[in-house]
């Protein structure tokens, strides 16, 4: 087996657009209305990944702790904004709550993985920290978006039940507890499904990338196990923090169900 990464030329990269034409043809044939979004998403993918390639080359070469922390924090903020935007049925939800949840879960789990499990030299090696934290953020962002959306949808669907519990003297937490459980399940279910089928149905990105780069598959598997478990932990912590910080917003100051809960942007 040839070792090392097989380079992709500019021509070969351009040929990958054929794959977008296939997806676009499906959208156009079925009139899904996704063609414009698909084209715009493809353009953004090319531009954003090209730019980040140059940025990471500079960051890896510099390997400065404060620059790495600033970059990871910026990534957390962008991810939190995107997570909130994925829940359009929740009016005026504060981005700061999502940011704090992602920041805490990302730094906690990421620090354990990079500092204790992988333990590179130095411990803040940009080549290790940024990809690890990026994988945590990408999955946590999806998890908290799902849990937040489910929390509000469950509360709307159970509004009569919640108001009945409140009228009988239940605290807001007692009245909303079942909705919180469903929200947590929704946020964690994708990663749990992935844990069930990894290696059998799917070969995840990090493992595939290492194998394509010439790594021993057995070593790639070890890294992928760490990645899957760290994502599960980060998603669980992120969802728990966000739901815990958010459920009080479903109630007024006098512990009644908030009128804005019935508002919808859809």
| Predicted local confidence at residue 260, as pLDDT | 67
Q: What are the Cα distances from residue 116, in Å, to 65, 70, 82, 88, 121?
A: 17, 22, 30, 39, 12
Which ranges constitute the DSSP H helices of the chain? 10-15, 17-29, 35-62, 65-85, 95-112, 126-157, 159-167, 172-197, 205-212, 217-246
**The token pair that represents 129 in the structure block:** 């920290």
Q: Assess contact for 157 and 260: CB atoms under 8 A.
A: no
Neighbours of 80 (CB within 10 A): 27
Q: What's this model's pTM, rounded to 2 decimal places?
A: 0.82
pLDDT band at 264 (very low <50, low <70, confident <90, very high): very low
pLDDT in the model for residue 170 = 87
User: What confidence category does residue 9 fall into, taking pLDDT thresholds of 50, 70 and 90?
Assistant: confident
Provide the sign of the torsion angle of the four alpha carbons 29, 30, 31, 37, taken in this order: negative
**Nearest partner of 127 among 139, 140, 118, 138, judged by Cα:** 118
pLDDT(32) > 90: no
163 pLDDT higher than 90: no
Is it the case that residue 1 has pLDDT exceeding 50?
no
Residue 75 reports pLDDT greater than 90: yes
- The Cα angle at residue 163 between residues 158 and 164, in degrees rounded to 5: 100
State the average pLDDT for the chain. Answer: 86
Residue 137 near residue 76 (C-beta atoms within 8 A): yes
The rounded percent of the chain whose pLDDT value lies above 90 is: 36
Per-residue pLDDT band for 33 (boundaries 50, 70, 90) equals: confident
Give the CA radius of gyration of the chain.
Answer: 21
pLDDT tens figures, 217-230: 888 888 888 888 99
Q: What is the predicted pLDDT for the residue at 2?
A: 47
The confidence band for 4, taking pLDDT boundaries of 50, 70 and 90, is: low
Higher pLDDT, 199 or 122: 122
**Alpha-carbon span 125 to 160, nearest angstrom:** 53
Q: Return d(Cα 202, Cα 55) in angstroms, integer.
A: 30
The single residue listed with the structure tokens 């204790």 is 116
């Amino acid at each position: 087996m040839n070792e090392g990464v097989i380079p992709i030329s500019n021509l070969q990269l351009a040929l990958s657009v054929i794959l977008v034409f296939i997806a676009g043809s499906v959208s156009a044939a079925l009139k899904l209305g996704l063609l414009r979004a698909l084209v715009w998403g493809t353009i953004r993918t090319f531009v954003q990944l090209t730019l980040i390639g140059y940025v990471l080359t500079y960051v890896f070469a510099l390997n400065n702790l404060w620059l790495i922390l600033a970059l990871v924090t910026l990534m957390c903020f962008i991810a939190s904004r995107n997570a909130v935007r994925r829940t359009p049925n929740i009016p005026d939800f504060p981005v700061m709550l999502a940011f704090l949840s992602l920041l805490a879960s990302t730094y906690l789990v990421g620090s354990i993985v990079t500092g204790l499990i992988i333990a590179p030299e130095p411990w803040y090696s940009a080549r290790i920290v940024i990809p690890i934290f990026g994988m945590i953020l990408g999955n946590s962002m999806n998890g908290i978006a799902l849990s937040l959306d489910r929390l509000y949808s469950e509360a709307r669907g159970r509004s009569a039940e919640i108001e009945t519990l409140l009228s009988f003297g239940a605290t807001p937490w007692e009245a909303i507890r079942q909705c919180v459980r469903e929200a947590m399940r929704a946020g964690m279910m994708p990663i749990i499904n992935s844990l069930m089928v990894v290696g059998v149905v799917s070969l995840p990105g990090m493992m595939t990338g290492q194998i394509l780069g010439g790594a021993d598959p057995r070593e790639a598997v070890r890294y992928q196990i760490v990645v899957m478990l760290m994502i599960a932990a980060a998603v669980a912590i992120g969802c728990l923090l966000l739901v815990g910080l958010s459920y009080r917003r479903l109630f007024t100051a006098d512990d009644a169900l908030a009128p804005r809960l019935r508002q919808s942007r859809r």
